[in-house]
């Protein structure tokens, strides 16, 4: 490989050709400040518009300062990253950005986690010479959707959200619009997010450096519900939360905090602390049975069977195909997501068990996800207007609740989840990462189809963090072709193949967020550090290995509910409670040709 | 949420598709497509932007981003008598801003808007090559030079009286 030698801050360095000054400096441990720049290693995300100019450096023999994030290193270059000229320029850039930014840090949801605030601290900003210099700050109306709050007064036009929405997710809801002071990232015709193709995946929120994009906060409602003596509160926790929550309390990424998490929820005052893993096992029973059903019919010669079957656990993915591929909505499994299965069972089976009226039960979910907030508000998941899941909070919101209630998380004694909706298997915990749902389904499908015990529980061929993966699983002679995609731009590739009749898969698992739920839009912020995602990913499989039972159909509490309440998987009662249907939400032009 | 049904005249639709085809539905030609569409339609309504997005396989938000970025593109139909006031350097130093203000006041319009009756629209432009006549304004293709704010009512009335 061709390399280049240059000098940065009086130190020589050799880097591959094409390296930017920013990268070269980073390799030497020099931390040039950045704001708009965002790179998510291994996930194929690059946002470098070179727009904010916070990273300017001085290059000898060059007249103007160079933005380090987009300037390539040249042979013999002499770079200064901390000359007085550079420091003054950065400070001016920062003051100009702040002159059009509200000063309400104390009340901002991103306070303490804001990259602009961190820069203001780093540069010791105490006053701003540009405030009030002949123009008012731009004003935009704050927009609230079921999942996401957009306060564009705080937008710094880094355009990271636009990159996530268009390149990572190919959703195309967001774009930069207007120019000059009115410039902002918004939807087509500045319409409400709910009228755009937005899937509420929350990846825009996950990368926003400031408080422009944040989640809808359900914590006040939950505090009220817990305090209400006439209500029974039931909480469920998604698998990916237990491998990420610890980060909010200073633990190493990848720490598994399942027991402490259950203890914290008890300490907060929830009456019943249950586990979404339980309903993940239930999902496998339903979705797995559906897969076997479709496959059996297909192999018996019925070519009209909708195949490949697509997973339906991820609500952002459901929104995506409803908006962009509505004609293919017979392909996904009709099984509800684990969150919604849990809600439906909590407010029927469990409510009956504890003799509690539906209206007196408040069902809460803790999710790594922002789309789950939207999902639980969907009309088809309500009975007489009463939702199966009343409130969904993100991992970040739960951390805030725990801190607010002065619970010393690190000192908590781990406890198990309550029974009966708390027992789960290793197959359920891997729902938290890409490849996990389909591996859990295969573990069960194999044993159901062959009536033999799996020789090896771990399907290494289904694991990994590559965007699109495929594997053929030998189910006693039956060759099951499986596809896996995470990140919606990868999902789109597989869907285009199906549309073109080129897909060879029998089953496809799709998760909207890169890495799956471990990197959901509601997780602790990673600020572009993909090592954190890798650590959570490893923790998920570690948690699986530590479980005494690792196949969903062996979960005794799942076996019990079929025996005493549901009957059989995909049976009548299951269909009523655990299955759903999808809608055409395409918003593109439909032309009236008669006029 | 209800499906948004947008009604678009058949001929307009055919013509827009035609323009997109002429540029091979290449997303890189977006600005040219918008140019030609506005040339023929006079403006770029939301439904036309949706159609262009569909033809070029890009998000509507991206099309709108470009339309809202360039002052040349407009989403409001031009008036029957489009008024353009030159704000080029020569006109500007000879009082074009006061002329523009007089038009705004006379028509009760802001720049980029059209009167509710569809007769007049007001835009600004930079230099029509008649600097010797500064300050200059155009109504349709007709050029008016050496304007003062006092002239404006007379010019507007000229067109009002044509009806």
CATH label of the domain that carries residue A251: 3.40.50.1780
| A75 a catalytic residue | no
Are the Cβ atoms of A584 and B68 closer than 8 angstroms? no
Let me know if residue A296 belongs to a domain: yes
Shared domain for A424 and A559, answered yes or no, is: yes
Shared domain for B88 and B155, answered yes or no, is: yes
* Interior angle at CA B106, CA B105 and CA B108, nearest 5: 60
Shared domain for B62 and B86, answered yes or no, is: no
Let me know if residue B115 belongs to a domain: yes
Q: Can you tell me the distance from the alpha carbon of A495 to that of B20, in angstroms, rounded to the nearest whole number? A: 26
| A313 a catalytic residue | yes
Q: What are phi and psi of A364, to 5 degrees?
A: -120, 145
Let me know if residue A7 belongs to a domain: yes
Q: Which of A63, A82, A101 is the last residue of a domain?
A: A82
Shared domain for A443 and A309, answered yes or no, is: yes
| CATH code, domain with B154 | 3.40.30.10
| CATH code, domain with A183 | 3.30.70.20
Q: Which residue is closest to B3 within chain A, CA to CA?
A: A587
Inter-helix orientation angle B60-69/B30-41, to 10°: 70
| A336 a catalytic residue | no
Shared domain for A155 and A54, answered yes or no, is: no
Are the Cβ atoms of B47 and A589 closer than 8 angstroms? yes
Q: Is the peptide bond before A418 cis (omega within 30 degrees of 0)?
A: no
Shared domain for B14 and B56, answered yes or no, is: yes
Per-residue pLDDT of chain B (163 residues; tens, 9 = 90+): 344 455 678 888 999 999 999 999 999 999 999 999 998 888 999 999 999 999 999 999 999 999 999 888 989 888 889 999 999 999 999 999 999 999 999 999 999 889 998 899 999 988 888 999 999 999 988 999 999 999 999 999 999 988 7
Shared domain for B40 and B102, answered yes or no, is: no
Let me know if residue B5 belongs to a domain: no
Domain of B141, in residue numbers: 81-160
Domain of A147, in residue numbers: 136-215
- Compute the count of residue pairs across chains A and B with CB atoms less than 8 Å apart: 82
Q: Which residues of chain B neighbour A585 with C-beta distances below 8 Å?
A: 1, 3
Let me know if residue B76 belongs to a domain: no
Let me know if residue A147 belongs to a domain: yes
Interface of B with A in 67-86 (CB under 8 A): 68-69
Distance from CA of B40 to the nearest CA of A (A): 19
Let me know if residue B2 belongs to a domain: no
Counted domains in chain B: 2
Shared domain for B53 and B104, answered yes or no, is: no
Mean pLDDT by 10 residues, chain A (595 residues): 94 96 97 94 84 96 96 97 97 94 93 96 92 70 94 95 96 94 92 94 97 96 97 98 98 98 98 98 96 92 93 97 94 97 98 96 98 97 97 98 97 97 96 97 94 94 95 91 97 96 95 96 94 97 97 97 96 96 76 42
Q: Which of B19, B47, B69 is the last residue of a domain?
A: B69
Let me know if residue A148 belongs to a domain: yes
pTM: 0.90
| CATH code, domain with A65 | 3.10.20.740
Q: Which residue is closest to B9 within chain A, CA to CA?
A: A595
Shared domain for B124 and B92, answered yes or no, is: yes
Let me know if residue A473 belongs to a domain: yes
Among candidate residues A232, A260, A336, A372, the one labeled active-site is A372
Q: Which residues of chain A neighbour B51 with C-beta distances below 8 Å?
A: 589, 591
Shared domain for B88 and B153, answered yes or no, is: yes
Shared domain for A185 and A323, answered yes or no, is: no
Shared domain for B101 and B129, answered yes or no, is: yes
Let me know if residue B61 belongs to a domain: yes
Are the Cβ atoms of A188 and B64 closer than 8 angstroms? yes
Contacts of A435 (CB under 8 A, 6+ apart): A462, A463, A464, A469, A484, A509, A516
| CB-based contact, A496 to chain B, within 8 Å | no
Let me know if residue A584 belongs to a domain: no
Q: Which residues of chain A neighbour B50 with C-beta distances below 8 Å?
A: 188, 588-589
Confidence check on the interface: ipTM exceeds 0.90, yes or no: no
Let me know if residue B4 belongs to a domain: no
Shared domain for B91 and B65, answered yes or no, is: no
Residue B42, pLDDT score: 85
Q: Which of B69, B101, B118 is the last residue of a domain?
A: B69
Shared domain for B98 and B141, answered yes or no, is: yes
Q: Which two tokens stand for residue A582?
A: 């999808």
Q: Can you tell me the distance from the alpha carbon of A173 to that of A320, in angstroms, rounded to the nearest whole number? A: 11
Shared domain for B95 and B41, answered yes or no, is: no
Let me know if residue B19 belongs to a domain: yes
Contacts of A141 (CB under 8 A, 6+ apart): none
Let me know if residue A31 belongs to a domain: yes
Shared domain for A189 and A253, answered yes or no, is: no
| A165 a catalytic residue | no
Q: Are residues A530 and A251 in contact, defined by beta-carbon separation less than 8 angstroms?
A: no
Counted domains in chain A: 3
Shared domain for A320 and A459, answered yes or no, is: yes
| A333 a catalytic residue | yes
Q: Can you tell me the distance from the alpha carbon of A415 to that of A407, in angstroms, rounded to the nearest whole number? A: 15
Q: Which two tokens stand for residue A181?
A: 């002071």
Shared domain for A211 and A249, answered yes or no, is: no
Residue A517, pLDDT score: 97
| CB-based contact, B57 to chain A, within 8 Å | no
Residue B11, pLDDT score: 86
Shared domain for A49 and A195, answered yes or no, is: no
Shared domain for A188 and A239, answered yes or no, is: no
Shared domain for A225 and A210, answered yes or no, is: no
Q: Which of B41, B69, B97 is the last residue of a domain?
A: B69
Shared domain for B100 and B125, answered yes or no, is: yes
Let me know if residue B30 belongs to a domain: yes
Q: Are residues A439 and A427 in contact, defined by beta-carbon separation less than 8 angstroms?
A: yes
Residue A383, strand partner residues: A386
Q: How far does Cα A150 stand from its chain's mean position? A: 17
């Amino acid at each position: 490989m061709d390399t280049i030698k240059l000098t940065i801050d009086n130190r020589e360095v050799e880097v591959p050709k094409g390296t930017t000054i920013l990268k070269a400096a980073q390799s030497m441990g020099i931390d040039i400040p950045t704001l708009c720049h965002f790179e998510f290693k291994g996930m194929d995300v690059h946002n470098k518009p070179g727009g904010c100019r916070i990273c300017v450096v001085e290059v000898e023999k060059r007249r103007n300062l160079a933005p380090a994030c987009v300037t390539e290193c040249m042979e013999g270059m002499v770079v200064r990253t901390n000359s007085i000229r550079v420091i003054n320029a950065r400070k001016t850039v920062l003051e100009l950005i702040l002159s059009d930014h509200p000063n309400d840090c104390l009340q901002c949801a991103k306070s303490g986690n804001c990259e602009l605030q961190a820069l203001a601290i780093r540069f010791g900003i105490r006053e701003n010479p540009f405030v009030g210099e002949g123009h008012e700050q731009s004003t935009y109306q704050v927009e609230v959707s079921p999942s996401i709050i957009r306060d564009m007064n705080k937008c710094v036009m880094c355009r990271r959200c636009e990159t996530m929405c268009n390149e990572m997710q190919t959703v195309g809801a967001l774009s930069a619009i207007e120019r000059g002071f009115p410039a902002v990232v918004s939807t087509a015709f500045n319409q409400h997010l709910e009228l755009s193709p937005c899937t509420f995946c929350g990846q825009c929120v996950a990368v926003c450096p400031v408080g422009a994009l944040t989640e809808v906060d359900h914590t006040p409602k939950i505090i009220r519900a817990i305090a209400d003596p006439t209500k029974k509160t039931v909480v469920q926790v998604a698998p990916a939360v237990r491998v990420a929550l610890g980060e909010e309390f200073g633990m190493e990424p990848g720490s598994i905090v399942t027991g402490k998490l259950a203890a914290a929820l008890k300490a907060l005052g929830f009456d019943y602390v249950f586990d979404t893993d339980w309903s993940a096992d239930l999902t496998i029973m339903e979705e797995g049975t559906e897969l076997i059903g479709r496959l059996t019919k297909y192999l018996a010669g019925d070519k009209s069977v909708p195949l490949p079957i697509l997973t339906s656990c991820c609500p952002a993915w459901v929104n995506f195909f409803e908006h962009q591929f509505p004609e293919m909505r017979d392909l996904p499994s009709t099984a509800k997501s684990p969150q919604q299965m849990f809600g439906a069972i909590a407010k029927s089976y469990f409510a009956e068990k504890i003799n509690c009226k539906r209206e007196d039960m408040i069902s809460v979910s803790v999710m790594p996800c922002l789309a789950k907030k939207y999902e639980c508000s969907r009309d088809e998941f309500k009975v007489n207007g009463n939702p199966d899941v009343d409130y969904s909070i993100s991992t970040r919101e739960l951390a805030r609740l725990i801190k607010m209630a002065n619970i010393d998380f690190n000192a908590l004694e781990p406890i198990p989840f309550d029974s009966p909706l708390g027992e789960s298997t290793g197959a359920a915990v891997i729902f938290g990462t890409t490849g996990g749902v389909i591996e859990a389904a295969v573990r069960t499908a194999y044993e159901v189809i062959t009536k033999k015990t799996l020789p090896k529980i771990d399907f290494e061929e289904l694991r990994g963090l590559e965007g699109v993966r495929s594997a053929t699983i030998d189910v006693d002679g039956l060759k099951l072709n499986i596809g896996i995609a995470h990140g919606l731009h990868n999902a789109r590739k597989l869907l285009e193949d199906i549309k073109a009749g080129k897909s060879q898969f029998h089953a496809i698992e799709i998760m909207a967020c890169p890495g799956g739920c471990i990197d959901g839009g509601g997780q602790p912020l990673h600020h572009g550090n993909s090592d954190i995602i890798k650590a959570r990913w490893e923790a998920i499989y570690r948690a699986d290995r530590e479980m005494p039972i690792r196949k969903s159909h062996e979960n005794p509490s799942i076996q019990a509910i079929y025996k005493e309440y549901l009957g059989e998987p995909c049976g009548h009662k299951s269909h009523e409670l655990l299955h759903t249907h999808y809608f055409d939400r395409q918003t593109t032009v439909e032309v009236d040709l008669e006029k | 949420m209800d499906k948004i049904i947008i009604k678009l005249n058949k001929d307009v639709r055919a013509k827009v598709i035609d323009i997109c085809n002429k540029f091979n539905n290449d997303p890189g030609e977006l600005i040219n497509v918008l140019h030609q569409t506005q040339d023929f339609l006079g403006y770029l309504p939301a439904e036309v932007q949706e159609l262009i997005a569909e033809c070029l396989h890009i998000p509507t938000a991206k099309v709108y981003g470009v339309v809202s970025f360039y002052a040349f593109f407009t989403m409001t139909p031009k008036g029957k008598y489009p008024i353009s006031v030159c704000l080029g350097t020569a006109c500007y130093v000879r009082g074009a801003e006061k002329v523009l203000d007089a038009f705004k006041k006379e028509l009760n319009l802001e720049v980029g808007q059209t009167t509710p009756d569809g007769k007049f629209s007001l835009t600004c432009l930079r230099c029509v090559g008649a600097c010797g006549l500064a300050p200059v304004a155009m109504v349709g293709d007709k050029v008016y030079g050496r304007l003062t704010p006092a002239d404006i009512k007379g010019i507007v009335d000229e067109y009002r009286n044509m009806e």
